C-alpha cells in the first residue's frame, strides 16, 4: 500500500481545547498539500476554515463532542449551524447513556434527525467503542445502518482509548453494506494505518500520519 492510498483516507484532525487559528490553518494547509480526505476541526473554526480553503478541501467538524449527552435538539442545532458555516462532514457522538439503558429507539431517532439536518452532507456516528461491550457495538451497527448514516466511527480520541483492530472486525461483520467505517484515536504509525485500512476502515481520524510524512521529508532534506 503506497502512502497516497493512506493519505487520501485521512481526516487530518485537530480538536484540542487549546487549538488556535494559526494551528487550524496549518492543519488545513497540510491536509491540502498531502491530499487528505478532510480537515476535522472544532465547530468554532469552521466558517473561517471553509473561507480559507474554499473548494480545495472538505471541512469536517464534531457535534455533541466529546461526551454525546446533549439533547437531540441541541445536536440538531449544532449540525445546522455547522453546515451553514460551511462544514462538509459531520461527526456526531451518540448518547452512550441511552445505549447503556437500552433506549435504542431514542438513539435511532436522534441519528435520523441529525442525518436529516445534514442533507447531502456526510454524517459519521461516533459510538466510543472503548466504553461499549461487544453486544452494544453490534446494536450500534444495526442502528447506524437503519438510520442510513454514512459512517460508523470508533472513537472521539478523548476517552479511555481509541480504535482497536477488533472494533473494525465487528463493524465489518454487522454493518449494512452501504455503511462505511472510520477508525479514530491512537492511530500513531503507518503500520497502524495500513492495518486499519486492510481490515476495512474507509477513513482514519488522526493527526499523526501527516506529521510522520512531514518528518520523513525533513529528514531526507537534512540528510
Q: List residues with catalytic annotation.
A: 91, 153, 182
Q: Which H/E stretch holds residue 11?
A: strand 10-13
User: CA gyration radius for the chain?
Assistant: 17
Nearest of 105, 116, 201, 58 to residue 92 by alpha carbon: 116
Q: Which residues pair with 152 in a beta bridge?
A: 125, 181
- Note the Cα 188 to chain centre separation in Å: 16
Tally of residues, the chain: 223
CB proximity list for 92: less than 8 A, separation 6 or greater: 62, 63, 64, 68, 75, 79, 111, 114, 123, 124, 125, 126
Helices (H), 101-133: 104-118
Question: Which residues does 100 contact at the CB level (< 8 Å), separation at least 6?
Answer: 136
Cell digits of residue 34: 498531502
- Residue 41 β-bridge partners: 61
Amino acid at each position: 500500500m503506497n502512502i497516497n492510498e493512506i493519505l487520501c483516507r485521512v481526516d487530518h484532525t485537530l480538536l484540542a481545547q487549546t487549538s488556535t487559528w494559526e494551528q487550524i490553518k496549518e492543519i488545513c494547509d497540510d491536509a491540502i498539500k498531502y491530499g487528505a480526505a478532510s480537515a476535522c476541526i472544532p465547530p468554532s473554526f469552521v466558517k473561517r476554515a471553509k473561507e480559507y480553503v474554499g473548494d480545495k478541501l472538505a471541512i469536517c467538524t464534531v457535534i455533541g463532542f466529546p461526551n454525546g449527552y446533549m439533547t437531540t435538539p441541541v445536536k440538531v442545532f449544532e449540525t445546522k449551524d455547522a453546515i451553514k458555516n460551511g462544514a462538509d462532514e459531520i461527526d456526531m457522538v451518540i448518547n452512550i447513556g441511552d445505549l447503556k439503558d437500552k433506549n435504542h429507539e431514542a438513539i435511532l431517532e436522534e441519528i435520523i434527525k441529525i442525518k436529516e439536518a445534514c442533507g447531502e452532507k456526510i454524517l459519521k456516528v461516533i459510538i466510543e467503542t472503548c466504553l461499549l461491550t461487544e453486544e452494544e457495538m453490534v446494536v450500534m451497527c444495526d442502528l447506524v445502518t437503519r438510520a442510513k448514516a454514512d459512517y460508523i466511527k470508533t472513537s472521539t480520541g478523548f476517552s479511555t482509548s481509541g480504535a482497536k483492530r477488533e472494533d473494525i472486525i465487528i463493524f465489518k461483520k454487522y454493518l449494512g453494506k452501504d455503511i462505511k467505517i472510520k477508525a479514530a484515536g491512537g492511530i500513531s504509525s503507518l503500520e497502524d494505518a495500513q492495518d486499519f485500512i486492510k481490515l476495512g476502515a474507509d477513513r482514519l481520524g488522526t493527526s499523526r500520519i501527516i506529521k510522520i510524512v512531514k518528518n520523513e521529508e525533513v529528514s531526507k532534506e537534512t540528510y
